[in-house]
Structure 1
Protein backbone atom coordinates (compact mmCIF):
# COMPACT_ATOMS: atom_id res chain seq x y z
CA UNK A 1 0.00 0.00 0.00
CA UNK A 2 1.42 3.35 -1.03
CA UNK A 3 1.25 6.83 0.46
CA UNK A 4 -1.32 7.86 -2.17
CA UNK A 5 -3.86 5.59 -0.39
CA UNK A 6 -2.94 6.53 3.20
CA UNK A 7 -2.80 10.37 2.91
CA UNK A 8 -6.53 10.81 2.00
CA UNK A 9 -7.52 8.59 4.94
CA UNK A 10 -5.39 10.57 7.38
CA UNK A 11 -6.76 13.86 5.99
CA UNK A 12 -10.35 12.63 6.42
CA UNK A 13 -9.58 11.49 9.98
CA UNK A 14 -8.11 14.92 10.89
CA UNK A 15 -11.15 16.74 9.47
CA UNK A 16 -13.52 14.52 11.48
CA UNK A 17 -11.51 14.98 14.70
CA UNK A 18 -11.46 18.77 14.21
CA UNK A 19 -15.22 18.89 13.63
CA UNK A 20 -15.95 16.71 16.66
CA UNK A 21 -13.64 18.82 18.85
CA UNK A 22 -15.33 22.06 17.78
CA UNK A 23 -18.77 20.54 18.42
CA UNK A 24 -17.75 19.48 21.94
CA UNK A 25 -16.24 22.89 22.68
CA UNK A 26 -19.35 24.81 21.60
CA UNK A 27 -22.07 22.39 22.80
CA UNK A 28 -22.80 24.44 25.98
CA UNK A 29 -23.59 27.46 23.79
CA UNK A 30 -25.71 25.40 21.39
CA UNK A 31 -27.67 23.61 24.14
CA UNK A 32 -27.80 25.84 27.26
CA UNK A 33 -28.58 24.35 30.64
CA UNK A 34 -31.89 24.97 32.34
CA UNK A 35 -35.54 24.52 31.62
CA UNK A 36 -36.42 25.05 28.01
CA UNK A 37 -39.11 23.85 25.71
CA UNK A 38 -39.34 23.52 21.97
CA UNK A 39 -43.07 24.30 21.96
CA UNK A 40 -43.34 27.72 20.25
CA UNK A 41 -46.59 28.74 21.97
CA UNK A 42 -44.96 28.63 25.41
CA UNK A 43 -41.61 30.30 24.76
CA UNK A 44 -40.39 33.28 22.81
CA UNK A 45 -37.31 35.45 22.58
CA UNK A 46 -37.58 39.21 22.93
CA UNK A 47 -34.92 41.85 22.52
CA UNK A 48 -35.15 44.15 25.50
CA UNK A 49 -33.24 47.37 26.01
CA UNK A 50 -32.37 47.94 29.66
CA UNK A 51 -31.00 51.47 30.12
CA UNK A 52 -31.82 51.57 33.86
CA UNK A 53 -30.32 48.21 34.81
CA UNK A 54 -26.79 49.21 35.84
CA UNK A 55 -24.79 46.21 34.69
CA UNK A 56 -26.69 45.55 31.47
CA UNK A 57 -26.62 48.66 29.31
CA UNK A 58 -27.09 46.86 26.01
CA UNK A 59 -29.77 44.97 24.20
CA UNK A 60 -30.18 41.51 25.70
CA UNK A 61 -31.84 38.48 24.15
CA UNK A 62 -34.08 37.02 26.83
CA UNK A 63 -36.09 33.83 26.68
CA UNK A 64 -39.00 33.72 29.09
CA UNK A 65 -41.97 31.47 29.55
CA UNK A 66 -45.34 33.04 28.85
CA UNK A 67 -47.71 32.63 31.80
CA UNK A 68 -50.44 30.11 30.99
CA UNK A 69 -53.32 32.14 32.41
CA UNK A 70 -53.91 35.89 32.50
CA UNK A 71 -52.81 37.57 35.72
CA UNK A 72 -55.24 38.62 38.43
CA UNK A 73 -55.10 42.40 38.64
CA UNK A 74 -56.00 44.26 41.83
CA UNK A 75 -57.32 47.81 41.52
CA UNK A 76 -56.08 50.62 43.72
CA UNK A 77 -56.76 54.33 43.12
CA UNK A 78 -56.73 54.30 39.31
CA UNK A 79 -53.94 51.73 38.89
CA UNK A 80 -53.98 47.97 38.63
CA UNK A 81 -51.40 45.74 40.32
CA UNK A 82 -50.35 42.14 39.70
CA UNK A 83 -48.47 40.34 42.47
CA UNK A 84 -46.84 37.35 40.76
CA UNK A 85 -46.86 33.88 42.26
CA UNK A 86 -43.63 32.78 40.57
CA UNK A 87 -40.13 34.04 41.30
CA UNK A 88 -37.91 35.52 38.59
CA UNK A 89 -34.76 37.63 38.26
CA UNK A 90 -35.41 41.38 37.90
CA UNK A 91 -35.09 41.49 34.10
CA UNK A 92 -37.51 38.58 33.62
CA UNK A 93 -39.96 40.29 36.00
CA UNK A 94 -39.84 43.37 33.82
CA UNK A 95 -40.41 41.32 30.65
CA UNK A 96 -43.35 39.51 32.30
CA UNK A 97 -44.92 42.85 33.22
CA UNK A 98 -44.43 44.21 29.70
CA UNK A 99 -46.22 41.18 28.25
CA UNK A 100 -49.35 42.44 29.98
CA UNK A 101 -48.96 46.12 28.97
CA UNK A 102 -47.55 47.10 32.35
CA UNK A 103 -44.17 47.61 34.04
CA UNK A 104 -42.64 47.01 37.45
CA UNK A 105 -44.39 49.05 40.13
CA UNK A 106 -43.38 52.63 40.89
CA UNK A 107 -44.51 53.63 44.38
CA UNK A 108 -45.29 57.33 44.40
CA UNK A 109 -47.20 58.03 47.61
CA UNK A 110 -47.83 56.72 51.13
CA UNK A 111 -51.33 55.41 50.29
CA UNK A 112 -49.96 53.28 47.45
CA UNK A 113 -47.11 52.12 49.70
CA UNK A 114 -49.54 50.97 52.41
CA UNK A 115 -51.65 49.10 49.84
CA UNK A 116 -48.55 47.27 48.54
CA UNK A 117 -47.16 46.62 52.04
CA UNK A 118 -50.38 44.83 52.96
CA UNK A 119 -50.00 42.58 49.91
CA UNK A 120 -46.28 41.82 50.35
CA UNK A 121 -46.22 40.78 54.00
CA UNK A 122 -45.49 37.13 53.16
CA UNK A 123 -42.88 37.49 50.39
CA UNK A 124 -40.17 39.52 48.75
CA UNK A 125 -41.19 41.41 45.58
CA UNK A 126 -39.15 43.25 42.94
CA UNK A 127 -40.30 46.80 42.20
CA UNK A 128 -39.23 49.23 39.48
CA UNK A 129 -36.31 50.71 41.40
CA UNK A 130 -32.62 50.31 40.45
CA UNK A 131 -29.34 51.78 41.64
CA UNK A 132 -27.48 53.83 39.02
CA UNK A 133 -23.74 53.73 39.64
CA UNK A 134 -23.02 56.63 37.26
CA UNK A 135 -25.35 58.95 39.21
CA UNK A 136 -24.75 57.25 42.57
CA UNK A 137 -28.47 57.13 43.42
CA UNK A 138 -31.62 55.04 43.31
CA UNK A 139 -33.91 55.75 40.35
CA UNK A 140 -37.36 54.49 39.44
CA UNK A 141 -37.69 52.95 35.97
CA UNK A 142 -39.37 56.15 34.75
CA UNK A 143 -36.18 58.10 35.63
CA UNK A 144 -37.45 59.81 38.81
CA UNK A 145 -35.33 59.76 41.94
CA UNK A 146 -36.24 57.81 45.10
CA UNK A 147 -37.69 60.15 47.75
CA UNK A 148 -36.36 59.51 51.25
CA UNK A 149 -39.58 60.74 52.89
CA UNK A 150 -41.41 57.67 51.57
CA UNK A 151 -38.80 54.95 52.18
CA UNK A 152 -35.88 54.22 54.44
CA UNK A 153 -33.49 52.24 52.24
CA UNK A 154 -31.10 49.79 53.89
CA UNK A 155 -27.41 50.23 53.03
CA UNK A 156 -26.54 48.47 49.79
CA UNK A 157 -23.77 45.94 49.20
CA UNK A 158 -21.57 46.03 46.09
CA UNK A 159 -23.83 43.86 43.90
CA UNK A 160 -27.18 45.16 45.20
CA UNK A 161 -28.52 47.23 42.30
CA UNK A 162 -32.23 46.31 42.40
CA UNK A 163 -34.81 46.70 45.15
CA UNK A 164 -37.48 44.52 46.73
CA UNK A 165 -40.29 45.13 49.16
CA UNK A 166 -40.50 42.47 51.86
CA UNK A 167 -42.82 42.77 54.86
CA UNK A 168 -43.12 46.48 54.18
CA UNK A 169 -39.37 47.07 54.13
CA UNK A 170 -37.44 48.36 51.12
CA UNK A 171 -34.32 46.26 50.67
CA UNK A 172 -31.44 46.43 48.13
CA UNK A 173 -30.77 43.05 46.48
CA UNK A 174 -28.89 41.60 43.53
CA UNK A 175 -30.80 41.85 40.25
CA UNK A 176 -29.84 38.22 39.63
CA UNK A 177 -31.62 36.80 42.67
CA UNK A 178 -35.13 35.44 42.16
CA UNK A 179 -38.06 37.19 43.82
CA UNK A 180 -41.75 37.71 43.13
CA UNK A 181 -42.70 40.74 41.01
CA UNK A 182 -45.17 43.60 41.36
CA UNK A 183 -46.45 44.82 38.00
CA UNK A 184 -48.42 48.05 37.69
CA UNK A 185 -50.53 49.39 34.85
CA UNK A 186 -52.64 52.47 34.51
CA UNK A 187 -55.76 51.62 32.49
CA UNK A 188 -56.52 54.04 29.72
Structure 2
Protein backbone atom coordinates (compact mmCIF):
# COMPACT_ATOMS: atom_id res chain seq x y z
CA UNK A 1 0.00 0.00 0.00
CA UNK A 2 2.84 2.42 0.89
CA UNK A 3 4.55 1.62 -2.43
CA UNK A 4 1.32 2.40 -4.33
CA UNK A 5 0.98 5.72 -2.51
CA UNK A 6 4.57 6.68 -3.34
CA UNK A 7 4.05 5.76 -7.01
CA UNK A 8 0.83 7.79 -7.14
CA UNK A 9 2.58 10.81 -5.57
CA UNK A 10 5.40 10.50 -8.11
CA UNK A 11 2.97 10.19 -11.04
CA UNK A 12 0.94 13.18 -9.81
CA UNK A 13 4.02 15.39 -9.39
CA UNK A 14 5.33 14.40 -12.84
CA UNK A 15 1.90 15.07 -14.36
CA UNK A 16 1.74 18.50 -12.71
CA UNK A 17 5.28 19.38 -13.79
CA UNK A 18 4.58 18.41 -17.39
CA UNK A 19 1.40 20.46 -17.50
CA UNK A 20 3.22 23.51 -16.19
CA UNK A 21 5.71 23.48 -19.05
CA UNK A 22 5.34 23.82 -22.79
CA UNK A 23 4.79 21.18 -25.44
CA UNK A 24 8.50 21.39 -26.25
CA UNK A 25 9.23 20.47 -22.64
CA UNK A 26 6.97 17.47 -22.85
CA UNK A 27 8.86 16.29 -25.90
CA UNK A 28 12.40 16.90 -24.60
CA UNK A 29 12.15 16.44 -20.85
CA UNK A 30 12.24 12.64 -20.71
CA UNK A 31 15.34 12.63 -22.94
CA UNK A 32 17.96 13.73 -20.41
CA UNK A 33 16.61 17.12 -19.31
CA UNK A 34 16.02 18.03 -15.66
CA UNK A 35 13.26 20.39 -14.53
CA UNK A 36 13.90 23.16 -11.99
CA UNK A 37 12.02 26.38 -11.33
CA UNK A 38 10.31 26.65 -14.76
CA UNK A 39 13.50 25.87 -16.68
CA UNK A 40 15.04 22.77 -18.23
CA UNK A 41 18.66 21.76 -17.73
CA UNK A 42 20.70 19.29 -19.74
CA UNK A 43 23.69 17.77 -17.95
CA UNK A 44 26.15 16.47 -20.54
CA UNK A 45 27.84 13.11 -20.29
CA UNK A 46 30.61 14.02 -22.75
CA UNK A 47 33.40 16.56 -22.51
CA UNK A 48 34.19 19.43 -24.86
CA UNK A 49 35.80 22.88 -24.90
CA UNK A 50 33.72 25.84 -23.73
CA UNK A 51 33.01 26.89 -27.35
CA UNK A 52 31.99 23.38 -28.43
CA UNK A 53 29.82 23.06 -25.31
CA UNK A 54 27.95 26.26 -26.16
CA UNK A 55 27.57 25.01 -29.75
CA UNK A 56 26.02 21.77 -28.46
CA UNK A 57 23.61 23.74 -26.27
CA UNK A 58 22.58 25.89 -29.25
CA UNK A 59 21.88 22.74 -31.26
CA UNK A 60 19.55 21.70 -28.42
CA UNK A 61 17.71 25.03 -28.53
CA UNK A 62 19.45 26.19 -25.36
CA UNK A 63 22.53 28.03 -24.03
CA UNK A 64 25.17 27.20 -21.50
CA UNK A 65 23.55 27.83 -18.12
CA UNK A 66 23.17 31.40 -16.86
CA UNK A 67 22.91 31.41 -13.07
CA UNK A 68 20.50 34.10 -11.91
CA UNK A 69 19.74 33.26 -8.29
CA UNK A 70 20.97 31.60 -5.12
CA UNK A 71 18.36 28.87 -5.67
CA UNK A 72 19.56 28.16 -9.18
CA UNK A 73 23.18 28.13 -7.96
CA UNK A 74 22.15 25.59 -5.30
CA UNK A 75 20.47 23.42 -7.92
CA UNK A 76 23.50 23.54 -10.25
CA UNK A 77 26.03 22.93 -7.48
CA UNK A 78 24.45 19.57 -6.58
CA UNK A 79 25.96 18.04 -9.73
CA UNK A 80 29.49 16.69 -9.41
CA UNK A 81 31.17 18.39 -12.38
CA UNK A 82 33.28 20.16 -13.24
CA UNK A 83 30.90 21.71 -15.78
CA UNK A 84 31.14 24.69 -18.10
CA UNK A 85 28.67 27.48 -17.38
CA UNK A 86 27.76 30.30 -19.76
CA UNK A 87 30.17 32.89 -18.37
CA UNK A 88 33.44 34.16 -19.86
CA UNK A 89 35.69 37.20 -20.13
CA UNK A 90 36.93 36.31 -23.60
CA UNK A 91 35.96 39.68 -25.11
CA UNK A 92 37.73 41.77 -22.47
CA UNK A 93 39.85 40.46 -19.61
CA UNK A 94 38.14 41.05 -16.27
CA UNK A 95 34.72 41.81 -17.77
CA UNK A 96 32.70 38.65 -17.22
CA UNK A 97 29.72 38.25 -19.53
CA UNK A 98 27.02 35.64 -19.79
CA UNK A 99 26.28 34.02 -23.16
CA UNK A 100 23.22 36.30 -23.50
CA UNK A 101 25.51 39.36 -23.39
CA UNK A 102 24.67 40.55 -19.87
CA UNK A 103 27.62 41.58 -17.71
CA UNK A 104 28.26 40.03 -14.32
CA UNK A 105 28.81 42.98 -12.00
CA UNK A 106 32.05 43.04 -10.01
CA UNK A 107 31.62 41.37 -6.64
CA UNK A 108 28.66 39.31 -7.84
CA UNK A 109 28.55 35.61 -8.54
CA UNK A 110 29.59 32.47 -6.73
CA UNK A 111 33.36 32.48 -7.21
CA UNK A 112 35.56 30.20 -5.11
CA UNK A 113 38.00 31.96 -2.81
CA UNK A 114 40.65 33.93 -4.77
CA UNK A 115 38.82 33.37 -8.07
CA UNK A 116 38.79 34.43 -10.83
CA UNK A 117 42.59 34.60 -10.97
CA UNK A 118 43.40 34.26 -14.70
CA UNK A 119 46.17 31.80 -13.84
CA UNK A 120 49.04 32.06 -16.35
CA UNK A 121 46.97 34.75 -18.09
CA UNK A 122 45.10 31.99 -19.84
CA UNK A 123 41.75 31.48 -18.05
CA UNK A 124 38.74 33.14 -19.64
CA UNK A 125 35.85 30.70 -19.19
CA UNK A 126 33.92 29.76 -16.04
CA UNK A 127 33.36 26.28 -14.70
CA UNK A 128 31.60 24.99 -11.61
CA UNK A 129 31.80 21.81 -9.55
CA UNK A 130 29.96 20.24 -6.64
CA UNK A 131 30.82 21.77 -3.29
CA UNK A 132 29.48 22.07 0.24
CA UNK A 133 29.79 25.81 -0.28
CA UNK A 134 27.67 28.05 -2.53
CA UNK A 135 30.98 29.36 -3.91
CA UNK A 136 31.73 26.93 -6.75
CA UNK A 137 32.87 28.98 -9.75
CA UNK A 138 36.41 28.98 -11.10
CA UNK A 139 37.99 30.52 -14.19
CA UNK A 140 39.62 27.96 -16.43
CA UNK A 141 41.24 27.54 -19.85
CA UNK A 142 38.48 27.64 -22.47
CA UNK A 143 40.04 24.90 -24.60
CA UNK A 144 40.06 22.35 -21.77
CA UNK A 145 37.50 19.59 -22.20
CA UNK A 146 34.81 19.52 -19.50
CA UNK A 147 31.20 18.44 -19.24
CA UNK A 148 28.63 21.24 -19.50
CA UNK A 149 25.15 22.30 -18.45
CA UNK A 150 22.63 23.67 -20.95
CA UNK A 151 19.57 25.67 -19.93
CA UNK A 152 16.36 26.62 -21.71
CA UNK A 153 12.92 27.85 -20.81
CA UNK A 154 10.47 25.12 -19.86
What is the TM-score normalised by the length of structure 2?
0.69
Residue in structure 2 matching 1:160, options 120, 123, 126: 123
Work out whether residues 93 and 124 of structure 2, in 8 Å CA contact, stay in contact via their aligned partners in 1.
no
Structure 1 residues 84 and 71: CA distance shift in structure 2, 3 A: farther
Q: Helix, strand or coil for the counterpart of 1:81?
A: strand
**Residues 138 and 145 in structure 1, CA contact (< 8 A), matched pair in contact too:** yes
C-alpha displacement of 1:92: 0.9
2:103 is matched with 145
Largest Rg, 1 or 2: 1
**Tell me, which stretches of 5 or more residues in structure 2 are unaligned?**
1-29
Deviations 1:2-61 (A, max 9, x none): xxxxxxxxxxxxxxxxxxxxxxxxxxxxxxxxxxxxxxxxxxxxxxxxxxxxxxxxxxxx
Residues 110 and 150 in structure 1, CA contact (< 8 A), matched pair in contact too: no
Match of 1:3 in 2: none
CA contact (8 A) 1:71 1:82 kept: no
Which of 51, 74, 86 is the equivalent residue of 2:46?
A: 86
Query: Which residue of the partner structure matches residue 115 of structure 1?
Result: 75
Q: Which runs of 4+ in 1 moved over 2 A?
A: 132-136, 147-150
Q: Which has the higher contact order (CA 8 A, sep 6+)?
A: 2
